[in-house]
Amino acid sequence: MTIERTVPALDADERTMLEGWLDYHRSTLARKCAGLTDEQLRTASVPPSELSLMGLVRHMAEVERSWFRRVLADEDAGPLHYSEADRDGEFHLTGADTWQESYATWQAEIDAARRNAAGFALDDRSRGRSRFTDEPYTLRWIYNHMIEEYARHNGHADLIRERLDGATGE
């Protein structure tokens, strides 16, 4: 599978720029996972850490779901991989967890995120509220947070991929 990744335009308006950078980072994570077996994708980075590439993808599916469905649109969208009993369930992989399922779930959450965001302007307030302040967020804030979240985890993905097969680069 070839993962297309487009660098955002240098002269775009703010929304196009934010969406472009978010898509760029989404594609970067997919590229870090490309060409690996399910076993490699489930391999933890450095014991005792359970961080793996498949776990990162499952985590980002949860993050997309949380910010764009629960917070932005105030949808009643329960967790995908975690529970009250296992708050880090997305990182607790078994041999039954597959890349095909993890990737499809992540892409479905990205599609839902795009649909929900399309109904909001950058300064529109979220329908859901902060669990810390009980205030709504703007879509602009959510986009910036998501870019930060992906950028941080793409750094993790860089190190995990290099450890797995020596591949480096963007």
* DSSP output for 5-43: --PPPTT--HHHHHHHHHHHHHHHHHHHHTT--HHHHH-
Contact between 22 and 67 (Cβ < 8 Å): no
Q: What tokens appear for 106 in the block? A: 């992540």
The pLDDT of 112-123, averaged and rounded, is: 98
Does a structural domain hold residue 151?
Answer: yes
Q: Where are the beta strands (DSSP E) in the chain?
A: 125-129, 136-138
Does a structural domain hold residue 5?
Answer: no
pLDDT in tens, 53-99: 999 999 999 999 999 999 999 999 999 999 999 999 999 999 999 99
Contact between 32 and 169 (Cβ < 8 Å): no
Residue 160: which domain range? 21-80+91-165
| CA 144/CA 121 separation, integer angstroms | 14
Does a structural domain hold residue 98?
Answer: yes
pLDDT in tens, 144-165: 999 999 999 999 999 999 999 9
Dihedral over Cα of 140, 65, 37, 101: its sign: negative
Whether 2 shows a pLDDT value over 80: the answer reads no
Whether 169 shows a pLDDT value over 80: the answer reads no
Does a structural domain hold residue 133?
Answer: yes
Q: Give the rounded percent of residues in the chain with a pLDDT score beyond 90.
A: 84
Does a structural domain hold residue 14?
Answer: no
- Which CATH number goes with the domain that contains 132? 1.20.120.450
Contact between 144 and 18 (Cβ < 8 Å): yes
Does a structural domain hold residue 10?
Answer: no
Does a structural domain hold residue 118?
Answer: yes
* DSSP output for 73-118: S------SS--SS-TTGGG---TT--HHHHHHHHHHHHHHHHHHHH
Contact between 14 and 138 (Cβ < 8 Å): no
Number of domains comprising the chain:
1
Does a structural domain hold residue 155?
Answer: yes
Q: What is the largest CA-CA distance in the chain?
A: 47
Q: Give the amino acid at 125.
A: R
Residue listed under structure tokens 């959510």: 142
